[in-house]
Amino acid sequence: MSKGVVLSEVREKITALDQKLLGLLGERRQLSLSVAQSKIDTVKNVRDTEREEALLIDLIQRGHKLGLDAHYVSQLFHVIIEDSVLNQQAWLQERANHQHESPIARVAFLGSKGSYSYLACHRYFSRRVEDIVEVGCDSFSDIVNQVESGQAEFGLLPIENTSSGSINEVYDVLQHTSLSIVGELTQPVEHCLVTAIDTDISQIDTIYCHVQPYQQCSQYLSKYKGIKFEFVESTAAAMEIVQQRQSETVAAIASQEGGSLYNLNAIERKIANQLENHSRFIVVARKAVEVAVQIPAKTTFIMSTHQASGALADALLVLKSNGISMTKLESRPIQGNPWEEMFYIDVDCNLHHDNMQKALAELNEITKDIKILGCYPSESIQATPVAEVLLNSNTPV
């Protein structure tokens, strides 16, 4: 038997195993929803970290007997556990709010096909509806207007990035809207240079990009002094231009996944300043939601303090004294009030919990104004820790 025939047979077996794995993953996902259903009456939290840790240790030990590396097994099952948690949360949240009587949702987001917002939009709503109607927008204010006017049910807004920081324009838009934050997600961002024709970076003379990816890739881009940068309104717009130009001298900064939707190839990968690059998005809607009691919640609010020494510190002490963990503090100028600022605050707490209500009552006594922007499920899923000694061990525990 020739080597070619042997190779083809091996590949057929691998394909068959991959298909079996997909079937098993689908079956596991359905079972995880049964777990969520069982937690309705008992009001148990979605996550049981002690059980997750015991499960991971058992899987690592079983994997060791099969010659599988501990890190490989733990990383694989961290992804599977995260998927299970997020699907359970989505199911419980939909049941608590009857959010989607229709299997289709209209969602407004920045850009169009292939943009990071487009990818995040499909990732978030794939757990919640059967299909979405895409409403591509040219600006953050346009996204908000689409939802406020009822032309879209939801809007997706990027709020911060681990590399370039907060997106101030979005914070400013939130000052003046009646919309509520009803969800969040964190989307991995892997910037690449994509082209329509297979070429080399040495041939590129023009790069089209949105300003945010440009800032996030500044260290890599600074090495190429002769390249001209053309800023456009979105990553999708950059890819559309490159696709239309069909030139070996132009490129766009985009994701490999987004580029593939435009038949663009990645000629340079992982070009961001930080390899671990993530963007956090918020989902807004006209109606606030109730967060199911089994789900960890976040509350976001705007607060303006009096112009007095220590006013902000006093307000933050209220959160601390009520045992509320603050995860984000962002200051923005109050439009029309020179030298005055308002503060955007994220806390890990359900708006309707007693300690949150007590803190808000106390804050109302010492601040000028408070506006609740939303209470929504937290999708910051931290990997269950497994002892480092176990991960580094070459022998069964």
| pLDDT one-digit tens code per residue, 166-207 | 898 999 899 889 999 999 999 888 999 999 999 999 999 999
- Checking if the pLDDT of 1 tops 50, the result is no
pLDDT in tens, 310-369: 889 999 999 999 999 999 999 988 776 666 788 999 999 999 999 999 999 999 999 999
Q: How far apart are CA 357 and CA 359, in angstroms?
A: 5
Neighbours of 380 (CB within 10 A): 12
Residues facing 303 on adjacent strands: 343, 370
Q: What is the pLDDT of residue 387?
A: 66
Output the six-digit token pair for 305.
Answer: 């303090």
Is the pLDDT reported for residue 228 higher than 60? yes
Contact criterion met (CB below 8 Å) for 124 and 152: no
CA atoms within 13 A on the CB side of 380: 14
Please report where in the chains the tokens 């709010």 appear, as a residue. 97
For residue 366, what are the contacts with CB-CB under 8 A and spacing of at least 6? 305, 306, 311, 314, 315, 318
- Contacts for 359 with CB less than 8 Å, ≥ 6 apart: 318, 319, 322, 324
| Separation CA 31–CA 88 (nearest Å) | 10
Pick the residue with more confidence: 98 or 156? 156
Indicate the pTM of the whole model: 0.82
How many residues can be counted in the chain? 397
The residue among 124, 284, 277, 305 whose CA lies nearest residue 215 is 277
pLDDT tens figures, 48-107: 888 888 999 999 999 999 999 998 999 999 999 999 998 898 888 888 887 555 688 999
